[in-house]
Amino acid sequence: MDNPCSEGRGGGTAVIHCDDLSLRPLSIPAVSFFEHLAFRLLGSQSLTVAIICCPPKTSSSFLSDFTDFFTQLLFFSPSILLFCDFNIHIDSPKSKFTADFLDILNCFSLTQHVNSPTHSHGHILDLVCSTASFTIQNLTNQPHDF
């Protein structure tokens, strides 16, 4: 399942999965600041999953776009899992933008599970977030060459 970038070079989001997983794509309108792909993972417990990719430069509209997007996800299921390349220095909470973003995660009771650097300069830019109704155990960040 994919959502290619409609213009320019690169970009887009995709998920590669085993055939035995049942996925149902979700139709959520495009937002101006980031690319996304959302689907429901069908099974004994329904789970809504979203993959989000943001450009390196933050925009003032990002926070409202993200809030609107997440609100739409909640209509599908209370159990939500986000995989995000936000390009926000999440480990710099003194930044007003980061603090505002963390406030949004807190307002939606989202837990951010990544606690080690995902960027060559030692920052946490890639996140895995979940609602309280979905538990993540033993998440590890494998070191790699940047």
Which of 15-19, 61-65, 92-96 shows the lowest mean pLDDT across its residues?
A: 15-19
Q: What is the pLDDT of residue 95?
A: 84
Split at pLDDT 50, 70, 90, the class of 106 is very high
Cα 127 to Cα 86: distance, rounded to the nearest angstrom: 7
93: left (phi > 0), else alpha (psi -120 to 50), else beta? alpha
Question: CA–CA separation, 108 vs 22, rounded Å?
Answer: 27
For the chain, what is the mean pLDDT? 75
The pLDDT-based confidence of 27 (bands split at 50, 70, 90) is confident
Sequence spans of domains, the chain: 77-135
Q: Which residue has the tokens 């790699």?
A: 144
Amino acid 9: pLDDT? 47
Whether 37 contacts 15, CB under 8 Å? yes
Note the pLDDT of residue 18.
63
- What is the spatial distance between Cα 102 and Cα 98, in angstroms, rounded to a whole number? 6
Residue 50: both structure tokens together: 């979203």
Q: What is the mean pLDDT of residues 90-118?
A: 81
Tell me the residue ranges of DSSP E strands in 30-71.
Answer: 35-42, 47-53
Q: What is the mean pLDDT of residues 137-145?
A: 61
Contact 128, 85 (CB under 8 A): no
Cβ contact 94:61 at 8 Å: no
pTM: predicted TM-score of the whole model, two decimal places: 0.76
pLDDT-based confidence at residue 146 (cuts at 50, 70, 90): very low
